[in-house]
Each structure stands twice: as structure tokens, then as C-alpha cells.
Amino acid sequence: MISSPTINLDDYAVSPVHGFLPTGLPLQALPHGYYAPWEKLVTQLPNLIRAGQIRKLIDDLPVLETTWLRSEAEFRRAYSILSFFTHAYVWGGERPQETLPPCISKPFLEISRHLELPPCATYAALTLWNYTSTTETDLTEPDHLSVLSSFTGTKDEEWFMVISVAIEAKGARLVPLMLDAIAAATAQDVPRLTALLCRFTDGLGDLTRTLNRMYEHNQPHVFFHQLRPFLAGSKNMTAAGLPNGVFYDVGRGEGEWHQYSGGSNAQSSLIQTFDIFLGVSHSATGGTSMKSSGTSYIQDMRNYMPAPHKRFLEALSALSNVRSFVMTTAAGSSLREAYNAAVMALTSFRDAHIQMVSRYIILPARNCPPRETKATDTVNLATASAQVDGLSESNATGLYGTGGTSLIPFLKNTRDTTKSATC
């Protein structure tokens, strides 16, 4: 057994107050005037997408250098802007565009290398680094939050994003609690570990209640038809019109094809932290679409997280000992009951997510009657989803998530694996 937890949150850009969110509010705009063309265009994004002009306006952008990006906050802002440009360019037309112009590809690839992130719309780009607040000290109330950039300009999209920000903010206080619990397990301090697990369970319940606030301002038809197509990646997207992924053109005929998963809450380091803490071990099931280089989809999602956060998960995995210690205690003990309650609270969170997916994705897809695609029909993730026959929550193996996973089988397997961690 380990001697003591040795994680310093500062080493991993994790805050005991804000968790995986930045310690300060994300930059609302890049300060150097050199990047004014980016800032001007991103504010007009929803209108240009609706008008069918976004590709032309992006094509007209100059190829900007990254020289004038000075701080990590500036790199993050630039990364978020170019993520929105990328997915607007690829999905903002009647047909997906499989080639990105150099004005996006060249700076985006450089910025992504600096941040150790893939050049696509990750959870970090869309959520962690894309909000502002009426107060910098309390980010737990979604009514006080708003987004910096948007594909649709709708309240629905904004609410979808800020609910995740609020969950991240509320979950932040659980991070030091989990480290304290690991220390208690190391010291074999049963009363303290039991109390900490009870507090952890209460915290997860609060996150589930926040998640369920999604229904307040996010309409399923708006999410499915207007927003979700822009969240799609370029991996396993043949049915949506990208059989080869996307070619990142850097000029002079040079570039490479890439296939990336789309923005997904599976890229939240907070949720994976819960799994590691409780000793929940997920496996890739439901077909090869959920496997990436022999590793599970959830493991692959770490490659879409900010690099310090990914390293935090690796460090936490090496220390996590709560479940193994709980297993040494008697069945029916207060500690086991507290641990099992925590596992079931995480299971309930995932149940709430499955119910949400049913309402926001499965039902809208089922209500779109399949039809033969005509040359003038829009092709994207929403229209591809609508081509699945006999779609229901219990039989939705043909419906894929933005990351290219077989959606419902993956989510149910994740939920069931969580539940099976009880002892």
C-alpha cells in the first residue's frame, strides 16, 4: 500500500476551487490587434452559418502566425476560436467539406502542438475555455454563466455548454476531498474514509441535479438539428459524409488527412476522476467503433484533454486505493455501505445522462423519417442519424455519437460497469 498521496494539484493545472476550469475566467478576446480578423469573424459565426457564407468568409481570412500569442490564456482563446472555425467550415454547408484551408490548418496545428491537444473542437475548446460569468468567484450557477463563442447563437446551445461548466465548478470541491479519502484509506482510517465517502455521495447528487437542469432551456429539436451536427468529429463519419476524415491543408499542396472524435463530455477529466477514485474500470465493448489502437474509447478520450489534466489522471490512477481498502473490510460494514452508496450515486448520474440522450438524440432521430438522400439534401450527423430504421432506446446500435461511438450500447455499458463496482 502507498505511504501517502503525493499529488500537488498546482502541478497539473487543477484548482481546489475551480477544478479543471481555469483559475481565472477565460480571455474574452485576444489582446493583440493582429488577431482582430479572427475575433471579428467568430462573433459573426451564427449569422454567417445561417446565411451559408461561413466558408467563403473563412477562405478570405489571412494566414496568421502564432508569434503574437504570449500567454497560455491567449493560446487557449486562439485554440477555441479555431476549433469553432474548423467545425463551422467542415459542417456549415449542404455537404461536409473535407479540406480545411491553410488559414485554419496552419495556425491551428501550431497552437494544438503547443497545448498538446488535437486540432478539433474538444470539450476544452467548447466548454472549459469558452465561458464567462457575472462573478469570477462562484461558477456553480448556470444562470450566471454565458458562452464566448457559439455555432447557433441560441440560448439552447449556451445552456448546453454552461450546464457543463457549472458541473465542473461544483465538482471542483470533490477533487481535494477524493485526495483526502485516498489518504484516509492509506492510513486505514475507517471513520474518516466513511465520512468522506458520504460527502462525496452528496456531491455527486448535487451534480446530477445540475445535469437535470439541462431541460430548462435546451430544446431537443434545437440541440439535435442545429447544434449537434457541429459537434461531430471526423472519425467514423462515413455515413455523415467524411469517409477519409479531414485534410488539413497547410499550403503549397502540403498537408495530412486526420480523423478525430468530436466534442464530447467523455473528454471531461472530472468524470474520469470519479471513475479512478472509485476504482471503476471500463472496457471497450459494443464493436470496433469504440476501440482506438486497442484501448477503450474512454482511455482514448484522455488524448482530447488538456495535457496537464491527462497527466493528473495518470498520477491519480497510480495512487487510487479506496476500493481495494474497502474490499478488505467486512461485508455490510458502514464503510462498504458508504462506498456502495457513492458508486450508486455515480450510476445515477450516468442514468440521468442516458435519459437525456434518449430525449435529445434518440427521439428526434426517430421522429425524422428515413428518406432517400437527394443531391440538394443536407448531409450531416443529424441527417445520418435519421437514416437508422426502427430506432429506439433499446435498439439504437446504428446511432453514433459525436465521437464516433455506438451511442446507447456504449453509455449503457459504462453505466453497468459503474454499477458492478459495488461490493
Query: What's the pLDDT at 377?
Result: 66
Going along 7-103, which residue ranges are E strands?
99-100
Burial class, 414, CB count within 10 angstroms (exposed 0-12 / middle 13-18 / buried 19+): buried
Report the C-alpha gap between 337 and 90 in whole angstroms: 50
Radius of gyration of the chain (CA): 22
Annotated binding-site residue? 114: no
Q: Are 140 and 166 in contact (CB under 8 A)?
A: yes
Report the C-alpha gap between 286 and 323 in whole angstroms: 27
Could you tell me which of 181, 164, 173 has the C-alpha nearest to residue 17? Answer: 173
Report the C-alpha gap between 20 and 302 in whole angstroms: 13
Report the C-alpha gap between 107 and 113 in whole angstroms: 10
Query: What's the pLDDT at 402?
Result: 63
Query: What's the pLDDT at 391?
Result: 45
Provide the CA 207 distance to its chain's centre, in angstroms: 16
Length reported for the chain: 423
All structural domains of the chain, each given as residue ranges with its CATH number in brackets, are 9-419 (1.20.58.480)
Other C-beta atoms within 10 Å of 360: how many?
22
Report the C-alpha gap between 355 and 406 in whole angstroms: 16
Report how far apart, in Å, the C-alpha atoms of 6 and of each of 2, 180, 182, 187 are: 10, 11, 10, 14
Question: For residue 63, how many C-alpha atoms fall within 13 Å in the half-sphere facing its CB?
Answer: 12
Q: pLDDT 10s per residue in the chain (423 long)?
A: 334 467 999 999 999 999 999 999 999 999 999 999 999 999 999 999 999 999 999 999 999 999 999 999 999 999 999 999 999 999 999 999 999 999 999 999 999 999 999 999 999 999 999 999 998 889 999 999 999 999 999 999 999 999 999 999 999 999 999 999 999 999 999 999 999 999 999 999 999 999 999 999 999 999 999 999 999 999 989 988 999 999 999 999 899 999 999 999 999 999 999 999 999 987 544 333 333 333 488 999 999 999 999 999 999 999 999 999 999 999 999 999 999 999 999 999 999 999 999 999 999 988 875 545 454 567 776 666 555 444 444 444 456 666 556 778 888 989 999 999 999
Query: What's the pLDDT at 368?
Result: 74
Helices (H), 116-189: 123, 155-172, 174-186
Report how far apart, in Å, the C-alpha atoms of 243 and of each of 97, 237, 350, 367, 374 are: 11, 6, 31, 26, 18
Q: Are 186 and 318 in contact (CB under 8 A)?
A: no
Q: Which residues lie across from 255 on neighbouring strands?
A: 249
Q: What is the DSSP letter of 384?
A: H
Query: What's the pLDDT at 398?
Result: 52
Q: Are 270 and 20 in contact (CB under 8 A)?
A: yes
Largest Cα separation within the chain, whole Å, is: 68
Q: Which long-range contacts (CB under 8 A, 24 or more apart) does 281-285 make?
A: 281/417, 281/421, 282/413, 282/414, 282/417, 283/413, 283/417, 285/409, 285/410, 285/413
Query: What's the pLDDT at 61?
Result: 99
Helices (H), 51-173: 54-59, 72-91, 102-115, 123, 155-172
Query: What's the pLDDT at 285?
Result: 42
Going along 270-327, which residue ranges are E strands?
291-292, 295-296
pTM of the model: 0.92
Burial class, 71, CB count within 10 angstroms (exposed 0-12 / middle 13-18 / buried 19+): exposed
Region of 37 on the Ramachandran plot (φ > 0 left; ψ -120 to 50 alpha; else beta): alpha
Query: What's the pLDDT at 6?
Result: 79
Q: Are 262 and 233 in contact (CB under 8 A)?
A: yes
Which three three-digit cell numbers place residue 50? 445561417
Report the C-alpha gap between 73 and 351 in whole angstroms: 35
Report the C-alpha gap between 262 and 242 in whole angstroms: 13
Q: Which helix (H) or strand (E) holds 423?
A: none
